């Protein structure tokens, strides 16, 4: 009955989800650990570090706020575009479970800030489908990708996702491509110019090279790997379900889900292409994975099997905090 209850509209849930999320993420505040170490980061994240005076707890508070905002924004995005054909608050709950499901990511990271910025890129590219202000929205998509890139370097690859998204939407035209490219380059140009005027361009380029050449090495517990396996199994199950019902969907919904799926593939591909990437890409997967899994649990025909699967998902997502 848990799934049947949660996939309705419960405004109280929108209050409880942030509390639930922070409880699952409590380790980030009790025993804060820097997820970036001493390595120089991209300028926008470095600015955030300066504003918080290098306090790990302060950074983690910002991270917690971003996660709370994202948990609420995923519900708003579906209400705005209705690509899951039901008004539901379940995505917020699922987001909270997934967002806290990697115990090595208890804390703020540039990829989390990038994920927050890329959410607005997703919102803007969805708006292009409606055909009004396509140039302005294309510029916005590029701008948010550019801002994400000066927060987390490897976010720059999402400019490719934007171009593929334009093709899916039927707007792969020179003017939309150019508008997005201008938006993407603008924050990068301003940042590089600032470093140049302060005779620090070499330092900026060295930081970029260090991030590119960084070889990510980490070890994870068996329980953490099992949880990722469970999460991957649910993504596969939900993707198969979506493929089975895709012909029943409105054209707009199909296109939105394809854009989210390409976002997912772009993130996974980055892990294999760039040696400097690692577990932090999990933060970038939060939005597409939340919607893919939410779509399955909301729209699959109600049965005891669905309740059992949802219980397994919830149980594994909570248990990882104790055994991961």
Q: What is the pLDDT of residues 25-46, one digit of tens each?
A: 999 999 999 998 888 899 999 9
Q: Given this model, what pLDDT does residue 247 score?
A: 66
Q: What is the pLDDT of residues 108-147, one digit of tens each?
A: 999 999 999 999 999 999 999 887 789 999 999 999 999 9
Q: Given this model, what pLDDT does residue 219 score?
A: 79
Q: Given this model, what pLDDT does residue 39 score?
A: 83
Stretch 56-70: mean pLDDT = 97
Positive or negative, the CA dihedral 82, 84, 86, 87 is negative
The rounded distance, in Å, linking the Cα atoms of 322 and 24 is: 10
The rounded distance, in Å, linking the Cα atoms of 73 and 51 is: 25
Q: Given this model, what pLDDT does residue 251 score?
A: 79
Q: Are 135 and 179 in contact (CB under 8 A)?
A: yes
Statement: residue 216 has pLDDT above 70? no
Give this prediction's pTM: 0.94
The pLDDT confidence band at residue 248, using thresholds 50, 70 and 90, is: low
Statement: residue 250 has pLDDT above 70? yes
SS3 at position 90: helix
């Amino acid at each position: 009955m848990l799934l049947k209850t949660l996939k309705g509209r419960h405004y109280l849930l929108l209050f409880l989800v942030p509390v639930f999320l922070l409880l699952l993420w409590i380790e980030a505040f009790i025993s804060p650990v820097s997820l970036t170490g001493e390595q120089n980061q991209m300028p926008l994240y470095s600015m955030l570090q300066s504003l918080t005076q290098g306090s790990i707890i302060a950074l983690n508070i910002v991270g917690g706020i971003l996660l709370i905002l994202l948990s609420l924004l995923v519900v708003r995005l579906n209400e705005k575009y209705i690509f899951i054909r039901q008004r539901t608050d379940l995505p917020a709950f699922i987001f909270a479970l997934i967002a806290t499901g990697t115990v090595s990511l208890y804390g703020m990271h540039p990829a989390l800030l990038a994920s927050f910025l890329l959410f607005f890129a997703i919102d803007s590219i969805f708006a292009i489908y409606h055909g009004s202000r396509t140039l302005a929205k294309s510029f916005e998509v590029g701008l948010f990708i550019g801002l994400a890139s000066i927060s987390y370097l490897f976010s720059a690859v999402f400019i490719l996702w934007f171009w593929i998204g334009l093709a899916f939407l039927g707007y792969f035209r020179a003017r939309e491509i150019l508008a997005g490219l201008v938006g993407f380059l603008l924050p990068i140009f301003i940042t590089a110019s600032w470093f140049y005027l302060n005779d620090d361009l070499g330092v900026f380029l060295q930081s970029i090279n260090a991030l590119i050449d960084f070889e990510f090495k980490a070890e994870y517990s068996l329980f953490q790997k099992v949880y990722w396996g469970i999460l991957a199994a649910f993504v596969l199950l939900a993707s198969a379900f979506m493929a089975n019902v895709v012909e029943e969907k409105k054209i707009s919904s199909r296109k939105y889900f394809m854009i989210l799926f390409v976002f997912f593939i772009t993130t996974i591909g980055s892990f294999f292409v760039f040696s400097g990437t690692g577990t932090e890409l999990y933060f970038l997967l939060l939005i597409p994975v939340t919607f893919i899994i939410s779509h399955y649990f909301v729209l699959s025909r109600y049965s005891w099997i669905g309740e059992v699967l949802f219980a397994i998902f919830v149980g594994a997502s909570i248990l990882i905090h104790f055994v991961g």
